[in-house]
Structure 1
Amino acid sequence: MGKKIIKNGTIVTASDTYQADVLIEDEIIAMIGKNIAIDGAEVVDASGLYVFPGGIDPHTHLEMPFGGTVSKDDFETGTMAAAFGGTTTVIDFCITRKGETLRNPIAEWHAKSKDKAVIDYSFHLMIGEMNEDVMSELPSILSDEGITSFKVFMAYKNVFQADDGTLFQTLKTAKDLGALVMVHAENGDVIDHLVNEALALGYTDPIYHALTRPPEAEGEATERAATLTGLAESQLYVVHVSCEDAMLKIKAAREKGYDVWGETCPQYLVLDQTDLEKPNFEGAKYVWSPPLREKWNQEKLWNALKNGYLQTIGSDQCSFDFVGQKDLGKGDFTKIPNGGPMIEDRFSILFSEGVKKGRITLNQFVDITSTRSAKLFGLYPKKGTISVGADADIVLFDPNVERTISAETHHMAVDYNAFEGMKVTGEPITVLSRGEYVIKEKQFVGTLGAGNYIKRARYGKTLQNDSDIVTV
């Protein structure tokens, strides 16, 4: 691989903003300094551009089975779209089945991603039950696969939902093993009751997806998960926080000293519950869980990001076509596949609506889109920052270009865009993964299968080299 020198750009990390050159050699950042000159190196002019560490999306569902269908974007189209959007690492969820060895879904996800991913990737592991067989498998999965985060669903009764005993045992096991527990926090039992009640009354439109999953159900489950985390003296990451109710429960837990973290998603920052009321079944495009909330929650979430009550932003990418998939739920909102196409616009929306509108700082933007996830999920400092020795995952970003988000121009495989018509300022121009171009001047130049599977460090540790894990 040839050497590259990025010149004339403004480097932005979670803590610093400065002008310097970046030398890339053998997939890593070899030097940062002024006026670097190396014979034979390709000079990349970043004049007028920010030089960001590649985005890390800690929450994707690529080629995921759900509701009798499979999410539309796989590891090929999904990672290509991620790269166009400034993301250079994704962490996808291995969905398990009760009564089965955990090795099977991990093997499935390796098969799904093999020879497809154009950027680096890793896996979280769903825990649907906790028994002696599962507990006996987990230590070797951490050491062999580098999977150091477990997901527990508190919702989707009779499908994914685990009971409180399973969650508590998972938290205790994670404490012992050095893993981070993630929860989808909604009270599935209450939601199941509300859904059945709505259907019995003949309420079948998409808006009832939101009305049967009220914010109180999310807040209650978030508080319960945080309480169990404190009791287990473990660590918790609450995914896709959608409302003030849940955010305040995370804030309160952190103030008690609990090791609890919170993620939100771009959809909750810019869309709201009225989108589910769109006529001609168009509201189905906006069905995901937790649902969109009343608009006033948006500024509460922005303020939480600014003040550190929420720390990361994931996409919760789980795309389904409007025609042929979402419309499975015509006449019954419970049959609408849950999920939306978010992976490509996560980075730009946070910059445009966050940095450009003064809601967060430039350095907070980098922390929220990349650095914090790298630290929480055992990727730092190989990923998530621009420093000597780090992987050369770099985004050259034009902060002033304006564009309109549209399904006509996006790179996801899905037939609509949830942010259709939204004007944003700021766009990735060139994206490098481990020093190789994936996107060059807004054109895809990457290679299918070039993305590496990344084994991650345990919670609270740092990832230096593939086998070099040290305590921070």
Structure 2
Amino acid sequence: IPANKNVLLKRGYVVNADSIERGDVKIENGTIMEVGKIIRPTDDFLTLDVAGMFIMPGGIDPNTHLDYTYKNIKTVDDFYYGTRAAVAGGTTMIMDFVMPQIGESMEDAYRKWRRRADTEVVCDYALHMGITWWDDDVEKEMSQVAISCGINGFLINMAFKRQFMLNDAEIYQACMRCKEIGALPMFHAENGTIIDENVRQLLNKGIRGVEGHYLSRPQDVEEEATLRACTIAKQVQSPLYFCNVMSKPAADIIIRKRREGVTVFGETIPAALGGVGQKIEGHNFRIAAAHVTCPPISDDESTPTELMQMLANEELNTTGSNNCTYDSDQKARGKHNFSRIPYGVNGVEDRMSVIWEKGVNSGILTPSQFVAITSTNAAKLFNVFPKKGAIKPGSDADIVVWNPKRMKVISHHNHRQAVDYNIFTGMYIHGGPEYVFVKGNLCVENDVLRFKKGYGNYIHTQCFSQMAYPRKLEGDKT
């Protein structure tokens, strides 16, 4: 199939977050031109019969860390390998995090990320901004980067003491500033002070193996930070978004606080949903270290199903990958001191497959719910809907045609990421991308990849998204 040919998809199931119906989709010049029951083919369009397959919006991954250097260790998946893997798995847009150095201006850091990404990405991307330090200049600069750089999400770290962690007063002020400019405060929720003390105590006791990572970060520290963030946001009446919710207690806080009136959103990740926690105990260092991320993957066997059920119930809202990949030799830097293991796991390629297998194939999610949590809700929260996240006339032709009959076994031997291990190794997947279109360009066809570096564009995201900041309807007295 010519990569840039106008295409008519026939006889598929057109899946949006709010509907599923049999129909056809017409793609022309990178845009969805028509969606209907029966669209007549013409000679200038290539017609693909996708009977029995699902025509869905390409995935949107709101949480990646590509080409990222932390403690002088650089991730192995850069913007080319990361977006290439994303598209291979059915994701057609990623959102990465700019993390300024302490004292560095947000705008300077933003320009660095753009230089790294613009010539490498094979799909569209957006950026969030980390608030890695706080003073009056940072507060002023937030509105500047929101407008000039198109950034509407600001990451607040409650962990990583002496690195990125903000104290409660700074979090309060950051949430206040986000509310003023219509941006979404995004949280990494762990109590960094408790973790820091736990690490010190464990090392003093001679506990230096991977088990120290889990002992230093019990679920309590995620639960406490989640509650504290909600409490602070409630004082200033700002919305908030939790990245990588990993435990049921933290998710329960989100549910309870939403019922109490807090505008709060939760994201979980395939590492938490994939049932890989049991691989941690009783394995060699290489396997155990490959699973080290934060908050940690729960070893409670009920957690993945419970988190998936919360997604089905709209109690959690989105799924990111939190893809932050380091090779085995990089992880080995912490072999004799667990606190030196670089944090992070893969997921940008397998996010859609793992959620389909564990969610849809298990009967927890419908295909429409799958679309909501892998694409549409992120598009709405970060204000790129309906250009992204929908199969509608006028939307970008970022489309995955999902074949429920495709089968594969996940392995680092056959994945497209650069990292040398895959935490989902051995997982059987029933269903996967038959075709993936990025802006109308056919990039994946029956596992054959066609990519061009720099094909993706940077997407400016506007503040005051309707989902995070719902406007009062005219005449609404409430």
TM range (shorter): over 0.9
1:421 aligns with 2:426: yes
Instruction: Report what 2:339 is aligned to.
Output: 334
Tell me, in whole angstroms, the C-alpha distance in 1 between the residues paired with 2:44 and 2:248.
54
Tell me, in whole angstroms, the C-alpha distance in 1 between the residues paired with 2:227 and 2:212.
24
Segment drifting more, 37-46 vs 249-258: 37-46
Segment drifting more, 39-48 vs 80-89: 39-48
SS of structure 1 residue aligned to 2:198: helix
Tell me, in whole angstroms, the C-alpha distance in 2 between the residues paired with 1:389 and 1:283.
46
Which of 242, 250, 255 is the matching residue for 1:246? 250
Q: Deviations over 1:132-173 (max 9, x none)?
A: 211222222111111000001100111221111221111111
1:255 aligns with 2:255: no
SS of structure 2 residue aligned to 1:439: strand
Matches within 5 A, 1:438-449: 438-449=443-454
1:386 aligns with 2:356: no
Instruction: Report what 1:174 is aligned to.
Output: 178
Report the residue type matching 1:318 in the other structure.
Answer: C
Tell me, in whole angstroms, the C-alpha distance in 1 between the residues paired with 2:279 and 2:202.
19
1:67 touches 1:335 (CA, 8 Å); kept in 2? no
Tell me, in whole angstroms, the C-alpha distance in 2 between the residues paired with 1:471 and 1:144.
27
Instruction: Report what 1:313 is aligned to.
Output: 319
1:159 aligns with 2:163: yes
Instruction: Report what 1:63 is aligned to.
Output: 67
Instruction: Report what 2:154 is aligned to.
Output: 150
SS of structure 2 residue aligned to 1:391: coil
Tell me, in whole angstroms, the C-alpha distance in 2 between the residues paired with 1:273 and 1:29.
40
Tell me, in whole angstroms, the C-alpha distance in 2 between the residues paired with 1:304 and 1:5.
36
Tell me, in whole angstroms, the C-alpha distance in 1 between the residues paired with 2:309 and 2:205.
38
Q: What is the CA-CA distance between 1:442 and the residue it aligns to?
A: 1.4
Instruction: Report what 1:290 is aligned to.
Output: 295
Tell me, in whole angstroms, the C-alpha distance in 2 between the residues paired with 1:2 and 1:439.
14
SS of structure 1 residue aligned to 2:104: coil
2:94 touches 2:124 (CA, 8 Å); kept in 1? yes
Q: What is the CA-CA distance between 1:105 and the residue it aligns to?
A: 1.0
Q: What is the CA-CA distance between 1:25 and the residue it aligns to?
A: 1.5
Report the residue type matching 1:378 in the other structure.
Answer: N
Tell me, in whole angstroms, the C-alpha distance in 2 between the residues paired with 1:38 and 1:232.
57
Which of 84, 89, 96 is the matching residue for 1:85? 89
Tell me, in whole angstroms, the C-alpha distance in 2 between the residues paired with 1:138 and 1:114.
22
Q: Deviations over 1:418-468 (max 9, x none)?
A: 111111111112100110112122111121100010011213249xxxxxx
Which of 66, 69, 77 is the matching residue for 1:73? 77
Matches within 5 A, 1:23-422: 23-33=26-36, 34-281=38-285, 282-293=287-298, 294-322=300-328, 324-422=329-427
Q: What is the CA-CA distance between 1:336 and the residue it aligns to?
A: 0.6
Q: What is the CA-CA distance between 1:114 and the residue it aligns to?
A: 1.8
Q: Deviations over 1:35-79 (max 9, x none)?
A: 333331121221221101000000000011113201110000000
Gaps of 5+ in 2: 474-478
Report the RMSD for the aligned CA atoms in angstroms.
Answer: 1.5
Instruction: Report what 1:465 is aligned to.
Output: none
Q: Deviations over 1:346-393 (max 9, x none)?
A: 001101110111111111100000000000011111000100111010
Tell me, in whole angstroms, the C-alpha distance in 1 between the residues paired with 2:264 and 2:162.
27
- Kindly, what percent of the aligned residue pairs are identical? 37
Report the residue type matching 1:231 in the other structure.
Answer: Q
Tell me, in whole angstroms, the C-alpha distance in 1 between the residues paired with 2:265 and 2:79.
27
1:450 aligns with 2:458: no
Query: Structure 1-normalised TM-score?
Result: 0.96
Tell me, in whole angstroms, the C-alpha distance in 2 between the residues paired with 1:444 and 1:71.
23
Tell me, in whole angstroms, the C-alpha distance in 2 between the residues paired with 1:38 and 1:278.
60
Query: Structure 2-normalised TM-score?
Result: 0.94
* Shift in alpha-carbon separation, 1:77–1:252, aligned structure 2, 3 A: same
Instruction: Report what 1:11 is aligned to.
Output: 14
1:52 touches 1:397 (CA, 8 Å); kept in 2? yes
Q: What is the CA-CA distance between 1:131 and the residue it aligns to?
A: 2.1
Q: What is the CA-CA distance between 1:300 and the residue it aligns to?
A: 2.1
Tell me, in whole angstroms, the C-alpha distance in 2 between the residues paired with 1:286 and 1:208.
13
Tell me, in whole angstroms, the C-alpha distance in 1 between the residues paired with 2:249 and 2:377.
23
1:95 touches 1:126 (CA, 8 Å); kept in 2? yes
SS of structure 1 residue aligned to 2:217: coil
SS of structure 1 residue aligned to 2:280: helix
Tell me, in whole angstroms, the C-alpha distance in 2 between the residues paired with 1:395 and 1:233.
38
2:65 touches 2:324 (CA, 8 Å); kept in 1? yes
Report the residue type matching 2:180 in the other structure.
Answer: D
Aligned residue pairs, count: 464
Segment drifting more, 410-419 vs 154-163: 154-163
Tell me, in whole angstroms, the C-alpha distance in 1 between the residues paired with 2:282 and 2:40.
55
Tell me, in whole angstroms, the C-alpha distance in 1 between the residues paired with 2:392 and 2:121.
25
SS of structure 2 residue aligned to 1:407: coil
2:412 touches 2:421 (CA, 8 Å); kept in 1? yes
